[in-house]
Structure 1
């Protein structure tokens, strides 16, 4: 069964095609504190993840992955840091990429 990425405005699904492209999908953490940090990082009002929600690799920086073995894993304690947010102003609708840890 394909899993959809939980990030706002992300249309990626876990399929054979996305796997061939090198995309990986990662379950929300079981640890309640870390799971809450992931939920907050997504900036989706009222969002509460369950055990079936996943995030695609597009929402993490390359150095946040452990690719030492055959399986691509996230490093311990990693929080999604590349999030797409829809910002609406009077003249236009713009899609911005926020990088939580690299802002001045």
Structure 2
């Protein structure tokens, strides 16, 4: 099954050998609510496989990974 970005008017799909990040909708209720609001989709119920592509994020949206010791 092909994974497609769930954002409005986005046609990006996960394609083999193409480097593009896809993010799943968070399970944390507060963060999940923010993401679903940002998607601006009426009557939309995401599944555990719903993804959003990297094109809808800015570098500031990512938290740095702390170095392992």
Same fold (TM over 0.5): yes
Corresponding position of 1:36: 33
- Summarize deviations over 1:64-99 as a string: whole Å, max 9, x none: 224658xxxxxxxxxxxxxxxxxxxxxxxxxxxxxx
Distance 1:68 1:37, change over 3 A: closer
Q: Which residue of 1 aligns with 2:16?
A: 16
TM-score normalized by structure 2?
A: 0.79
Match of 2:53 in 1: 56
**Structure 1 residues 38-73: Cα deviation after superposition (integer angstroms, max 9, x where no partner):** 11111111112121100000000122224658xxxx
What TM-score results when the alignment is normalised by the length of structure 1? 0.55
Q: Which of the numbers 23, 27, 39 marks the counterpart of 2:24?
A: 27
Q: What is the distance in 2 between the residues matched to 1:64 and 1:14?
A: 21
Choose 1 or 2 for highest CA Rg. 1
Matches within 5 A, 1:25-104: 25-66=22-63, 68=65
Runs of 4+ in 1 over 4 A off after TM superposition: 66-69
Structure 2, unpaired ranges of 5+: none
Greater share of residues in strand: 1
